[in-house]
Structure 1
Amino acid sequence: MYKILLLLTLWAATTRAQGGPTAAAGPATPAPRQAPSDDGAIRQVLAQQVTAWNNADVTAFMQGYWQSDSLIFIGPKGPNYGWQPVLDHYKKVYPDKVAMGTLTFSNLVLKRLSGDYYFVIGAWHLTRTNGDLGGQFTLLFHKINGNWKIVVDHTS
């Protein structure tokens, strides 16, 4: 858990150093109330990922992720950095429809962190003829050019 928090902190610091938003000095203010349009947009990204996965289209599934070398995906074997390496990893581990099975997400909790960041937790399940798989995930979504993208994914 410490490593995840450290990675998120380093990622946020790097984003600020590259011209991202900075906080003004002064008393802390509560995060704005969830905007239904943002909550719905993030749920739509996740629904599109499920549809793409269940159509055995890994490239379409990856459209929910930030297409950047700064994307971080942390899985059971450690972190992968960058959109293309994450795509390549998915294609290697899930080479066909049989390996991919049918994906479902459940127990979704969305928490707005700021106007352009959301933290999402949930469970994933693959129903497969060669044995089901499942686990938990935590996602950091960032609104980039008006679109919600996953910038950090920890899946176990």
Structure 2
Amino acid sequence: MRFLLSVILLASSALLFSSPGYAQQSPEQAIRQLMQQQTAAWNQGNIPGFMQTYWQSDSLLFIGKNGITHGWQATLERYKKSYPDTAAMGKLQFNLLEFKQLAPDLFFLVGKWQLQRTAGNLEGHFTLLIRKLNGAWKIIADHSS
């Protein structure tokens, strides 16, 4: 009986620690998850949730068709102004094209974005600098066109 209990506990531990919550993700997997989180928030009409993937700092850099925006709060306000409702936001889809590791805690990501909207579809490309800060991957610079 004691042997059977030991086997069950060992098997349970192996299952528990191999689950996604305990498995060690590669940086690319973690960044893909970050981008999925961003897409999900956008498609729910949740701009503040979308912005949780960005570095909450005055040093955040966003470059778009209207020029440069500095800082997390200013970038949030820019998104709210450009996309005032869910119809303007549409449904977002990313195609992640290239991952380049620049340092152990820094990645350069190139991708394509598409918005499907009743008011007319939009699409373009983006480059992101994504850094691991305090254990979490965050977008520190975004150039979207």
Q: Same fold (TM over 0.5)?
A: yes
Map Cα deviations across residues 14-50 of structure 1 (whole Å, 9 max, x no partner). Answer: xxxxxxxxxxxxxxxxxxxxx9521110010000000
For residue 26 of structure 2, give the secondary structure of its aligned residue in structure 1.
Answer: helix
Query: 2:42 aligns to what?
Result: 53
Instruction: Return the alpha-carbon distance in structure 2 between the equivalents of residues 81 and 118 of structure 1.
Output: 20
Structure 1 residue 110: deviation in Å?
A: 1.0
For residue 68 of structure 1, give the secondary structure of its aligned residue in structure 2.
Answer: coil
Q: Any conservation in 1 of the 2:112–2:125 contact (CA below 8 Å)?
A: yes
Query: 1:124 aligns to what?
Result: 113
Instruction: Return the alpha-carbon distance in structure 2 between the equivalents of residues 107 and 80 of structure 1.
Output: 23
Structure 1 residue 107: deviation in Å?
A: 4.0
Query: Which residue type is aligned with residue 75 of structure 1?
Result: G
Query: Which residue type is aligned with residue 100 of structure 2?
Result: K
Structure 1 residue 148: deviation in Å?
A: 0.5
Q: Where in structure 2 are the equivalents of 1:1-150 lying within 5 Å?
A: 37-150=26-139
Identity %: 53
CA radius of gyration, larger in:
2
Q: Any conservation in 1 of the 2:96–2:109 contact (CA below 8 Å)?
A: no
| Matched length | 122
Q: Does 57-66 or 99-108 show the bigger shift?
A: 99-108
For residue 88 of structure 1, give the secondary structure of its aligned residue in structure 2.
Answer: helix
Query: 1:4 aligns to what?
Result: none
TM-score, length basis structure 1: 0.76
Query: Which residue type is aligned with residue 111 of structure 1?
Result: K
Instruction: Return the alpha-carbon distance in structure 2 between the equivalents of residues 45 and 133 of structure 1.
Output: 22
Q: CA RMSD in A?
A: 1.1
* Alpha-carbon distance change, 107 to 38 in structure 1, aligned in 2, over 3 angstroms: closer
Structure 1 residue 108: deviation in Å?
A: 2.5
Unaligned runs of 5+ in 1: 1-34
Structure 1 residue 126: deviation in Å?
A: 0.1
Unaligned runs of 5+ in 2: 1-23
Query: Which residue type is aligned with residue 144 of structure 2?
Result: T
* Alpha-carbon distance change, 107 to 46 in structure 1, aligned in 2, over 3 angstroms: closer
Structure 1 residue 109: deviation in Å?
A: 1.3
TM-score, length basis structure 2: 0.82
Instruction: Return the alpha-carbon distance in structure 2 between the equivalents of residues 43 and 95 of structure 1.
Output: 27
